[in-house]
Structure 1
Amino acid sequence: MVLRDSLGKIIFSSCRELRACAEPLEAELLSCLEGLNLALQWTQLPIEVETDCRVALKMITAVDRDRSRYSMLVDQIRRLMSEGRVVKLAHICREQNSISHYLASFGRTECRTVVWLGSGPGNVPDLCKTDYALD
């Protein structure tokens, strides 16, 4: 995950090794939870959580109580979103999510959990600059 300000400057980027994960949906929900948790701690700015997973987005934004196997994760995300901060959820296409996919791959292949302040591994800073220029 990557947290950027309104000018595209990296506040932090991070990755986490998931030692047990049943499916990609679980990984996406865990990423949303962790990213939101970190963003709430590291900035007072409004937060926009972007995901390329429509299923996760639908689960989080549904009015009804979630009764899936991931109900605890969904409830935790909803609780964080209701703590009085401005949090917006947005769906983006997979091609727009290349930075997060790069970081997820890094965490998986390097078996590491890391937070970089103001930067990121490899070409993450360059990807952020390119991504911001395209917006």
Structure 2
Amino acid sequence: MVLLTSWRAIFQARSAMEVEAMACLEGVRLAVEWCHQPAILESDCSALVGELQKETSLRSQVCFIERETLEFGRLLPELKIRLVRREQNSVEDKLAHLAKRTTHTAVWHMQVP
């Protein structure tokens, strides 16, 4: 069951990995605020997922965003971080394109657009 869906236009980023890291951080923040139950964070960025899963000595170009994501994740009863293939993440891709087209932010709680 999908408990939370959101999208946001991000204009100030240096790389695709930074955009993905910012999206993951926003997702975990929203889960802490709205869901208060175990959550699964999925991403098709293997480098980011690898960094978040090991939780120690974060040294990537987006380490500060990763650390903040993990800190918020500790506020949840459980946070699982999973790598998914891009083909499995088509909803995320469509929401990212919607955010780029509409340049606004939206959050859907207990439903999907």
- Provide TM-score, normalisation by structure 2: 0.88
2:74 is matched with 82
Of 56-65 and 20-29, more deviation after overlay is shown by: 56-65
3-state secondary structure, aligned to 1:119: coil
CA distance in 2, matches of 1:118, 1:63: 29
2:93 is matched with 101
For residue 53 of structure 2, the aligned residue among 46, 52, 61 is 61
Query: 5+ unaligned residues in a row in structure 1: which ranges?
Result: 1-7, 122-135
CA distance in 2, matches of 1:22, 1:54: 18
Paired letter, 1:60: L
Shift of 1:83: 2.9
1:72 and 1:95, CA in 2 relative to 1: closer, same or farther beyond 3 A? same
For residue 102 of structure 2, the aligned residue among 94, 97, 110 is 110
Q: C-alpha root-mean-square deviation of aligned residues, in Å?
A: 1.7
Structure ranking higher on relative contact order (CA contacts 8 Å, 6+ apart): 2
Shift of 1:64: 3.0
| 8 Å CA contact retained: 2:7, 2:95 | yes
| 8 Å CA contact retained: 2:32, 2:75 | no
| 8 Å CA contact retained: 2:7, 2:107 | yes
- Provide TM-score, normalisation by structure 1: 0.75
Shift of 1:67: 2.6
Query: 5+ unaligned residues in a row in structure 2: which ranges?
Result: none
What does 1:24-63 correspond to in 2, within 5 Å? 24-63=16-55
| 8 Å CA contact retained: 2:32, 2:73 | no
Q: Deviations over 1:2-25 (max 9, x none)?
A: xxxxxx2x4332110101111110
Aligned length in residues: 113
Shift of 1:120: 4.0
1:28 and 1:105, CA in 2 relative to 1: closer, same or farther beyond 3 A? same
Shift of 1:114: 1.4
1:18 is matched with 10
* Percent pairwise identity: 26
